[in-house]
Chains A and B, each alone.
Chain A
Amino acid sequence: MRSAKKAVQAVDSNRYRRSNRFGEIWRRFRKSKGALIGLILLLMIVVLLLCAELLIPYEAAIKQDVRSALAGPSAEHVFGCDTYGRDILARIVHGGRTSLSIALWATVCSCVVGSLLGAVAGYFGGIIDSVIMRALDLFMSVPDILFTMAVVFALSANFVNLLIALTISFFPNYVRLVRSQVLTLAEQDYVEAARAGGSNNARIICSHILPNAVGVIIINVTLNVARIIIYESTLGFLGLGMPAPHPEWGMMLSEAREVMRVAPHMIFFPAAAIVLCACSINLVGDGLRDALDPHLKS
């Protein structure tokens, strides 16, 4: 009796969702103050980064003036200067473009690859599941950081290679997460109902299972963008980052750490940029999650 009721409810909510999805999501999203603040911040960051060239020319980010090395914030250099006397504000703005786009692309690539594999594995089960999961185990069992390092070492550090390395390290998370969702969802009655109704597998995965796993995927995508930005800084710490003199947040932090106590502004501003950016992304992610998953909100 319980399951029948549940099935009806689930099918209902499914149908309801598809009808005016975006309006509905937006309406719910708007309700959360945090999410709105996050969205506004994020939009501001994105606009700022997109218009970076208009505000501060790229030249300013790489122009050295060693005589003002390590200078603190002043009218001329609002955020101060780094070891080479380069303007930190300009480097943050232009570095943000690099860091964010690496993070975004890496997230998109790993999400697409991972979710599809996970959905297929979880839904079909059996041999397909075993093959995918065992191959994945193999992949996952080589620790991220070592894999990333080895790949970056082998291919040398630049935008595309960092992207490849990050995708390789981050896609397995999606496979496992989506699979575990699908494992649970595939047992749900509405899926069985759809199956009984003669829907083919691809249709069931795409229209019944993935949308319902979207909550988990969204949370992870948002967290991941932020996490990759941070992971980049870890790579910077280990000496793997964009080639000089190209600014990038991770490398900026890494350069700053040896003078942390002499010139704290050098670590503060890039760190603040990372925190601000990651926080706003996370806020938006949380808002989206609440908006996408109506039954999470009473």
Chain B
Amino acid sequence: MKKKLALLMSLLMVLGIVFSGCNSPAETDAQNPEDRVLKVRKKNAMMSTDWEQTTESEDMQITFVQVFEGLYGINEAQGGYVNLLAKDVVISEDQLHYTVTLQDATFQNGDALKASDVVYSYRKAMENPRFNYVTSMIDSVSEIDDKTVQFDLKYPYSPIAHTFFTIKISSEREVTEAGASFGTAPHTAGTGPYMITDFDMASSIKLKAYDGYWRGEPAIKNVEYVVISEDSAAVIAYENGEIDYLHDAPTAEWDVLTAAAGDNCTMVMGNNIRCISINWESKANNGILADELVRRAICYAIDKEGLNLAVVGGRGVIAQEYMPSDYVPTSPKASDQGFELYEYDPEKAKELLLEAGLTAAQLSEGVDIGTILTYGAQTGQNAKIAQVIQANLAEVGLTCGVEVLDIAIASPRMHSYDYDMAIFADSGNYDFNNIRQQVHSESVGMAVVRYRCEGSPFDGERIEELIDQGVATSDTAERVTYYTELWNIVQDSATLFPLFHAPVGICWSGDVNPGDICPTYYHLYSLSWK
């Protein structure tokens, strides 16, 4: 017996030694800045190294900015687009032909960027249904000479800048050589400042600076993305100095982070907007949501301040516009009072409900209006929004359920109008024409509410007219007038209601200069060691 006990004790001791042996820090800091590795947190495993196949926004932060580049880039700090691989763009009188001169850039494999690569990349993207929404207006892309490409459009389309941003240019030679396996391994097919050298899907992605980058060699030479799925573990890893750059830091523990980060952190307004849509076609409770008064009552019942508090600790920015007008010059402005804002007013909501023919007795018992559908994690921001709205509605006598599904399941239901109410995020870009994907009858599979269809109570034709007028001119003031009228129609219909912009927290370690602070597409290129 004693022997066994001794064995046990010695085992415990061995364990103890193993533990104490682990006292030294993980890696001795490399002195040479050339060898230093910037560790960046990533939430989930990366799916693909091909920009066309990356679907998660986190993956796109790598492929869309660090590895590949488009003709345009997005300037999140000031809003708007900037020239990237396009040195110069000439637009024809009729706004149908865009002639693009290319930068003297090279791919990471050393090949020079040629017009043929651009043509190849665009043609490939145009065949990919995923990019229909940004390529459907392009009639053809052709090579004029080695450094010049011409885009011919089917109709004038002023928001083409977003297309130039979205479609990235990859090396024709490398992509064709790799064939179907492109994207499953490291490659050098981008023109961006970093190339992927190590792609272990499960745990880490390593990037190396491309020294021939056309805008000059990046300051930080080595970057490693480490997968830390749990938010609280990421916070601890940051506090411990195990990661150097934490983008989209967990807002729930922001106080903890700021305590650890001191000046090395900041919080900016996110580029995404959270909206609720109310489906007038819903069958819930004999189509109660078809009643405009009920829909308006729902909008009045939503306490956006409370939402902001409960969901992101009051750090978000309340939204009254579909896109922040500070950033998007073409956006209608709330301050112009051109559309209904539905300021929180539960009393008004109750009045509207009574006006809609519901009795006070029914309301005190609770009137069923169906289910709020949303996607993401069960404790994610969307789910929280849904829960707060559920409680807001209960206050005015409307009861509803909450259904949180995965995006792959929820989004087809939203896009086939098979829901009652839905919470979703729409990613901002810098042109108000983005609204087209929410309101145009051609946006099947993108819109969550139908405005122009049989039985629609709305002036869908006018909406589409305004969209067409909006893209047909480049005059900003003129476009704002069209869009204000459009947004007013949408707000009057009480079907698509903006809630807030979630905040994005960014933390970096003491020996890093954070460079440009961007809510979505941060640039590792702008970072440097102190």
Contacts and interface: CB of A to CB of B under 8 A. Distances in A.
Verify whether A and B have any Cβ pair under 8 Å.
yes
A64 interface: yes
Given A239-B378, A241-B378, A84 B253 contact: no
A267 to B, nearest CB: 11
Contacts of B402: 243-245
Interface string B301-328: 0010011011001000000000000000
B304 to A, nearest CB: 11
Interface string B249-281: 010110110000000000000000000000000
A261 B309 contact: no
Contacts of A255: 379
B379 A64 contact: no
Contact of A262 (B256, B377, B390, B394): B256
A259 B253 contact: yes
Given A84-B310, A260-B232, A62 B391 contact: yes
B379 A254 contact: yes
B388 interface: yes
Contact of A244 (B235, B310, B386, B406): B386
A66 B403 contact: no
B384 to A, nearest CB: 7
A261 B256 contact: yes
A257 B232 contact: yes
A243 B403 contact: yes
Interface string B391-417: 100100000011110100000000000
A244 B232 contact: no
Contact of B388 (A84, A156, A254, A261): A84
A240 interface: yes
A57 to B, nearest CB: 14
Interface string B348-381: 0000000000000000000000000000011100
B232 A239 contact: no
Contacts of B388: 64, 66, 84
Interface in A58-72: 62-64, 66-67, 69
Nearest to B406: A153
Interface of B is mostly: helix
A251 B383 CA distance: 13
B104 interface: no
A85 interface: yes
Contacts of A259: 252-253
Nearest to B371: A243
A187 interface: no
Contacts of B394: 62
B250 A258 contact: yes
A262 B391 contact: no
B387 interface: yes
B200 interface: no
A186 to B, nearest CB: 34
B407 to A, nearest CB: 13
A67 to B, nearest CB: 7
A85 B387 contact: no
Given A62-B391, A243-B401, A244-B402, A258 B310 contact: no
A83 interface: yes
Query: How extensive is the interface on chain A, given as a class?
Result: 20 to 34
Nearest to A235: B378
A258 B309 contact: no
Contacts of B250: 258
Nearest to B256: A261
Interface in A144-168: 153, 156
Contacts of A64: 306, 310, 387-388, 391
Contacts of A243: 401-403
B237 to A, nearest CB: 14
B205 to A, nearest CB: 25
A239 B403 contact: no
Interface string A253-277: 0110111111000000000000000
B231 interface: yes
Contacts of A85: 310
Contacts of A84: 310, 384, 387-388, 391
A258 B403 contact: no
B109 to A, nearest CB: 41
B309 A244 contact: no
Contacts of A262: 252-253, 255-256
Contacts of A240: 378
B306 A66 contact: yes
B44 to A, nearest CB: 14
B139 to A, nearest CB: 43
Nearest to A241: B378
A31 B192 CA distance: 76
Nearest to A67: B309
B524 to A, nearest CB: 27
B311 to A, nearest CB: 8
A62 B404 CA distance: 17
Contacts of A257: 232
Nearest to A68: B309
Given A244-B386, A245-B387, A258-B231, A239 B310 contact: no
Contacts of A258: 231-232, 250, 252-253, 379
A83 B384 contact: yes
Nearest to A85: B310
A63 B253 contact: no
A198 B84 CA distance: 92
Contacts of B313: 69
Interface in A222-241: 236, 239-241
A28 to B, nearest CB: 30
A245 B140 CA distance: 52
A239 B253 contact: no
Nearest to A258: B252
A62 B388 CA distance: 10
A83 B253 contact: no
Contacts of A241: 378
Interface string A81-123: 0011100000000000000000000000000000000000000
Contacts of B384: 83-84
Given A239-B378, A258-B252, A66 B401 contact: no
A190 B231 CA distance: 59
A153 B404 CA distance: 11
Interface string B206-236: 0000000000000000000000000110010
Interface of B: 231-232, 235, 250, 252-253, 255-256, 303, 306-307, 309-310, 313, 377-379, 383-384, 386-388, 390-391, 394, 401-404, 406
Given A67-B306, A84-B384, A262-B253, 18 more contacts: A66-B303, A66-B310, A69-B309, A239-B377, A239-B404, A241-B378, A244-B383, A244-B386, A244-B390, A245-B390, A255-B379, A257-B232, A258-B252, A259-B252, A261-B235, A261-B253, A261-B256, A262-B256
6 contacts: A63-B391, A66-B303, A69-B310, A84-B384, A85-B310, A258-B232
